[in-house]
Amino acid sequence: MQDARVAITPLPSIDRGKQVMHALADYVDRAALKAGDRLPTERELMAALSVGRSTIREALGRFEALGVTETRKGSGTYLLKPISAGTIHMPLSFDAAELRDALLQTLEVRRGIEAEASMVAARRRTRADIGTIEEKLDEMERVHLAKGTSGPEDLAFHLAIYDATHNPLFRQFLEQMRGLFERFWDHPFDRIDFARRSFPYHRELFDAIVAQDAELARAKTLEILRVVEEDIVEMSK
Protein backbone atom coordinates (compact mmCIF):
# COMPACT_ATOMS: atom_id res chain seq x y z
CA MET A 1 0.00 0.00 0.00
CA GLN A 2 1.27 3.45 -0.93
CA ASP A 3 2.39 5.66 1.97
CA ALA A 4 0.40 8.91 1.70
CA ARG A 5 3.01 10.68 3.81
CA VAL A 6 5.74 10.22 1.18
CA ALA A 7 5.56 12.89 -1.50
CA ILE A 8 6.69 12.27 -5.06
CA THR A 9 9.57 14.58 -5.90
CA PRO A 10 8.74 16.95 -8.78
CA LEU A 11 10.80 16.67 -11.93
CA PRO A 12 13.38 19.45 -12.36
CA SER A 13 12.71 22.10 -14.97
CA ILE A 14 14.55 21.56 -18.24
CA ASP A 15 17.39 23.94 -18.98
CA ARG A 16 17.04 24.24 -22.75
CA GLY A 17 20.17 26.34 -23.04
CA LYS A 18 22.22 23.63 -21.37
CA GLN A 19 20.63 20.98 -23.63
CA VAL A 20 21.67 22.99 -26.68
CA MET A 21 25.21 23.31 -25.31
CA HIS A 22 25.52 19.55 -24.93
CA ALA A 23 23.98 18.86 -28.34
CA LEU A 24 26.35 21.31 -30.02
CA ALA A 25 29.37 19.96 -28.12
CA ASP A 26 28.42 16.45 -29.23
CA TYR A 27 28.17 17.67 -32.83
CA VAL A 28 31.60 19.32 -32.65
CA ASP A 29 33.07 16.10 -31.27
CA ARG A 30 31.44 13.81 -33.86
CA ALA A 31 32.24 16.15 -36.75
CA ALA A 32 35.86 16.37 -35.53
CA LEU A 33 35.82 20.16 -35.83
CA LYS A 34 39.07 21.92 -35.03
CA ALA A 35 39.96 25.34 -33.67
CA GLY A 36 39.18 27.88 -36.37
CA ASP A 37 36.28 25.94 -37.89
CA ARG A 38 32.96 27.75 -38.27
CA LEU A 39 29.89 26.45 -36.44
CA PRO A 40 26.44 26.14 -38.05
CA THR A 41 24.47 29.38 -38.29
CA GLU A 42 21.81 30.33 -35.74
CA ARG A 43 19.12 29.53 -38.31
CA GLU A 44 20.61 26.09 -38.98
CA LEU A 45 20.84 25.34 -35.26
CA MET A 46 17.27 26.49 -34.67
CA ALA A 47 15.99 24.16 -37.39
CA ALA A 48 18.14 21.19 -36.31
CA LEU A 49 17.38 21.46 -32.58
CA SER A 50 13.80 22.78 -32.76
CA VAL A 51 14.43 25.64 -30.35
CA GLY A 52 14.06 29.42 -30.56
CA ARG A 53 16.70 31.99 -31.43
CA SER A 54 16.98 33.23 -27.83
CA THR A 55 17.85 29.71 -26.61
CA ILE A 56 20.51 29.32 -29.31
CA ARG A 57 22.00 32.68 -28.41
CA GLU A 58 21.98 31.82 -24.71
CA ALA A 59 23.93 28.60 -25.38
CA LEU A 60 26.39 30.32 -27.71
CA GLY A 61 26.81 33.07 -25.11
CA ARG A 62 27.75 30.48 -22.49
CA PHE A 63 30.27 28.93 -24.88
CA GLU A 64 31.80 32.34 -25.55
CA ALA A 65 31.98 33.07 -21.79
CA LEU A 66 33.86 29.80 -21.34
CA GLY A 67 36.35 30.79 -24.05
CA VAL A 68 35.19 27.99 -26.36
CA THR A 69 33.85 30.06 -29.28
CA GLU A 70 34.21 33.49 -30.82
CA THR A 71 31.53 35.40 -32.70
CA ARG A 72 32.76 37.49 -35.62
CA LYS A 73 30.33 40.13 -36.77
CA GLY A 74 29.01 39.39 -40.24
CA SER A 75 30.94 36.14 -40.46
CA GLY A 76 29.59 33.69 -37.86
CA THR A 77 30.66 31.78 -34.78
CA TYR A 78 34.01 30.02 -34.77
CA LEU A 79 35.48 27.32 -32.56
CA LEU A 80 38.48 28.41 -30.49
CA LYS A 81 39.25 25.03 -28.97
CA PRO A 82 38.07 21.42 -29.49
CA ILE A 83 35.30 20.37 -27.13
CA SER A 84 33.11 17.41 -26.30
CA ALA A 85 30.09 16.84 -24.09
CA GLY A 86 32.48 15.72 -21.34
CA THR A 87 34.64 18.84 -21.35
CA ILE A 88 32.30 21.83 -21.71
CA HIS A 89 31.13 21.94 -18.13
CA MET A 90 32.51 20.95 -14.77
CA PRO A 91 29.49 20.86 -12.48
CA LEU A 92 30.14 22.13 -8.99
CA SER A 93 28.04 20.78 -6.18
CA PHE A 94 28.00 20.07 -2.48
CA ASP A 95 25.80 18.33 0.03
CA ALA A 96 24.71 21.10 2.38
CA ALA A 97 21.63 19.97 4.28
CA GLU A 98 20.75 23.46 5.47
CA LEU A 99 20.22 26.57 3.36
CA ARG A 100 22.26 28.56 5.88
CA ASP A 101 25.30 26.30 5.45
CA ALA A 102 24.98 26.36 1.65
CA LEU A 103 24.87 30.15 1.54
CA LEU A 104 27.85 30.52 3.85
CA GLN A 105 29.88 28.05 1.80
CA THR A 106 29.20 29.83 -1.48
CA LEU A 107 29.99 33.11 0.24
CA GLU A 108 33.44 31.85 1.20
CA VAL A 109 34.15 31.15 -2.47
CA ARG A 110 32.75 34.49 -3.60
CA ARG A 111 34.82 36.43 -1.06
CA GLY A 112 38.15 35.34 -2.49
CA ILE A 113 37.22 35.58 -6.15
CA GLU A 114 35.25 38.82 -6.08
CA ALA A 115 37.75 40.70 -3.93
CA GLU A 116 40.53 39.84 -6.36
CA ALA A 117 38.37 40.57 -9.42
CA SER A 118 37.50 44.03 -8.07
CA MET A 119 41.16 44.86 -7.56
CA VAL A 120 42.15 43.69 -11.03
CA ALA A 121 39.19 45.51 -12.61
CA ALA A 122 40.19 48.74 -10.85
CA ARG A 123 43.68 48.48 -12.34
CA ARG A 124 42.70 47.48 -15.88
CA ARG A 125 39.27 48.98 -16.54
CA THR A 126 38.82 50.96 -19.73
CA ARG A 127 36.44 53.81 -20.48
CA ALA A 128 34.15 51.31 -22.21
CA ASP A 129 34.24 49.04 -19.16
CA ILE A 130 33.20 51.94 -16.93
CA GLY A 131 30.25 52.66 -19.20
CA THR A 132 29.09 49.04 -19.08
CA ILE A 133 29.47 48.70 -15.31
CA GLU A 134 27.61 51.97 -14.74
CA GLU A 135 24.80 50.87 -17.06
CA LYS A 136 24.37 47.63 -15.07
CA LEU A 137 24.57 49.53 -11.76
CA ASP A 138 21.95 52.06 -12.87
CA GLU A 139 19.58 49.22 -13.80
CA MET A 140 20.27 47.48 -10.50
CA GLU A 141 19.47 50.68 -8.61
CA ARG A 142 16.30 51.26 -10.64
CA VAL A 143 14.98 47.78 -9.87
CA HIS A 144 16.05 48.00 -6.24
CA LEU A 145 14.24 51.29 -5.69
CA ALA A 146 11.12 49.96 -7.42
CA LYS A 147 10.98 46.54 -5.78
CA GLY A 148 13.21 46.77 -2.73
CA THR A 149 15.43 44.00 -4.03
CA SER A 150 17.46 42.99 -7.09
CA GLY A 151 18.47 39.56 -8.37
CA PRO A 152 19.63 39.19 -11.99
CA GLU A 153 20.57 42.86 -12.04
CA ASP A 154 23.02 42.35 -9.18
CA LEU A 155 24.61 39.42 -11.01
CA ALA A 156 24.89 41.49 -14.21
CA PHE A 157 26.71 44.21 -12.27
CA HIS A 158 29.26 41.79 -10.89
CA LEU A 159 29.70 40.09 -14.27
CA ALA A 160 30.54 43.48 -15.78
CA ILE A 161 33.26 43.89 -13.14
CA TYR A 162 34.61 40.43 -14.01
CA ASP A 163 34.75 41.43 -17.67
CA ALA A 164 36.62 44.62 -16.76
CA THR A 165 39.50 42.47 -15.47
CA HIS A 166 40.22 41.47 -19.09
CA ASN A 167 41.07 38.05 -17.71
CA PRO A 168 38.52 35.61 -19.22
CA LEU A 169 39.15 33.07 -16.47
CA PHE A 170 37.20 35.17 -13.96
CA ARG A 171 33.99 35.00 -16.00
CA GLN A 172 34.63 31.39 -17.04
CA PHE A 173 34.93 30.35 -13.42
CA LEU A 174 31.79 32.25 -12.47
CA GLU A 175 29.92 30.59 -15.33
CA GLN A 176 30.90 27.22 -13.88
CA MET A 177 29.52 28.23 -10.50
CA ARG A 178 26.51 30.15 -11.78
CA GLY A 179 23.94 27.39 -11.44
CA LEU A 180 25.16 26.63 -7.94
CA PHE A 181 24.90 30.27 -6.88
CA GLU A 182 21.48 30.81 -8.46
CA ARG A 183 20.12 27.69 -6.79
CA PHE A 184 20.75 29.07 -3.31
CA TRP A 185 20.69 32.85 -3.78
CA ASP A 186 17.12 33.25 -5.13
CA HIS A 187 15.29 35.06 -2.27
CA PRO A 188 16.85 33.11 0.63
CA PHE A 189 14.59 32.58 3.63
CA ASP A 190 11.70 34.05 1.58
CA ARG A 191 12.96 37.54 2.45
CA ILE A 192 12.99 40.14 -0.31
CA ASP A 193 15.05 42.35 1.99
CA PHE A 194 17.90 39.84 2.06
CA ALA A 195 21.21 41.71 1.58
CA ARG A 196 19.35 45.01 1.12
CA ARG A 197 21.79 46.74 3.47
CA SER A 198 24.63 46.01 1.06
CA PHE A 199 22.98 48.04 -1.69
CA PRO A 200 24.74 51.43 -1.09
CA TYR A 201 28.19 49.81 -1.19
CA HIS A 202 27.74 48.83 -4.83
CA ARG A 203 27.88 52.48 -5.92
CA GLU A 204 30.93 52.98 -3.69
CA LEU A 205 32.58 49.95 -5.30
CA PHE A 206 31.91 51.42 -8.72
CA ASP A 207 33.42 54.75 -7.67
CA ALA A 208 36.56 52.97 -6.44
CA ILE A 209 36.95 51.16 -9.77
CA VAL A 210 36.50 54.45 -11.65
CA ALA A 211 39.22 55.98 -9.46
CA GLN A 212 41.45 52.94 -10.11
CA ASP A 213 41.82 52.51 -6.36
CA ALA A 214 42.37 48.75 -6.15
CA GLU A 215 42.59 48.56 -2.36
CA LEU A 216 39.39 50.56 -1.88
CA ALA A 217 37.62 48.38 -4.47
CA ARG A 218 38.69 45.31 -2.52
CA ALA A 219 37.50 46.86 0.76
CA LYS A 220 34.08 47.75 -0.68
CA THR A 221 33.66 44.26 -2.08
CA LEU A 222 34.45 42.72 1.28
CA GLU A 223 32.03 45.16 2.92
CA ILE A 224 29.23 43.99 0.61
CA LEU A 225 29.95 40.37 1.43
CA ARG A 226 30.24 41.11 5.16
CA VAL A 227 26.73 42.54 5.20
CA VAL A 228 25.44 39.57 3.23
CA GLU A 229 27.04 37.18 5.73
CA GLU A 230 25.45 39.03 8.64
CA ASP A 231 22.04 38.73 6.97
CA ILE A 232 22.52 35.00 6.44
CA VAL A 233 23.31 34.47 10.12
CA GLU A 234 20.53 36.75 11.36
CA MET A 235 17.75 35.57 9.01
CA SER A 236 18.51 31.89 9.50
CA LYS A 237 17.88 31.97 13.26
Angle at CA of residue 206, ends 188 and 189, nearest 5°: 5
- Locate all alpha helices (DSSP H) within 66-187, ordered by sequence: 99-124, 127-147, 152-164, 168-184
| pLDDT > 90? residue 139 | yes
Same-domain check for residues 116 and 153: yes
Q: Do the beta carbons of residue 107 and residue 222 sit within 8 Å?
A: no
Residue 4 lies in a domain: no
Same-domain check for residues 115 and 221: yes
Same-domain check for residues 68 and 162: no
Residue 228 lies in a domain: yes
Q: What is the mean pLDDT of residues 71-77?
A: 89
Same-domain check for residues 49 and 118: no
Separation of alpha carbons 43 and 230, rounded Å: 48
Residue 7 lies in a domain: no
* pTM for the model: 0.61
Q: What percent of the chain has pLDDT over 90?
A: 32
Q: Do the beta carbons of residue 88 and residue 63 sit within 8 Å?
A: yes
Residue 5 lies in a domain: no
Separation of alpha carbons 203 and 200, rounded Å: 6
> Given 51, 79, 107, which residue is the final one in a domain?
79
Same-domain check for residues 135 and 217: yes
Q: What is the mean pLDDT of residues 64-80?
A: 85
pLDDT digits (tens, 9 = 90+) for 28-55: 888 888 889 999 999 999 999 888 999 8
10 Å Cβ neighbour count for 231? Answer: 20
Residue 157 lies in a domain: yes
Residue 38 phi, psi dihedral angles, 5° rounding: -90, 140
Same-domain check for residues 212 and 139: yes
Same-domain check for residues 121 and 220: yes
Residue 120 lies in a domain: yes
Same-domain check for residues 66 and 109: no
Same-domain check for residues 156 and 227: yes
How many structural domains are present in the chain? Answer: 2
CATH of the domain at 123: 1.20.120.530
For 193, the domain range is: 99-235
| pLDDT > 70? residue 117 | yes
Same-domain check for residues 48 and 106: no
| pLDDT > 70? residue 3 | no
Residue 160 lies in a domain: yes
Same-domain check for residues 139 and 211: yes
CATH of the domain at 73: 1.10.10.10
Residue 88 lies in a domain: no
| pLDDT > 80? residue 126 | yes
Same-domain check for residues 32 and 73: yes
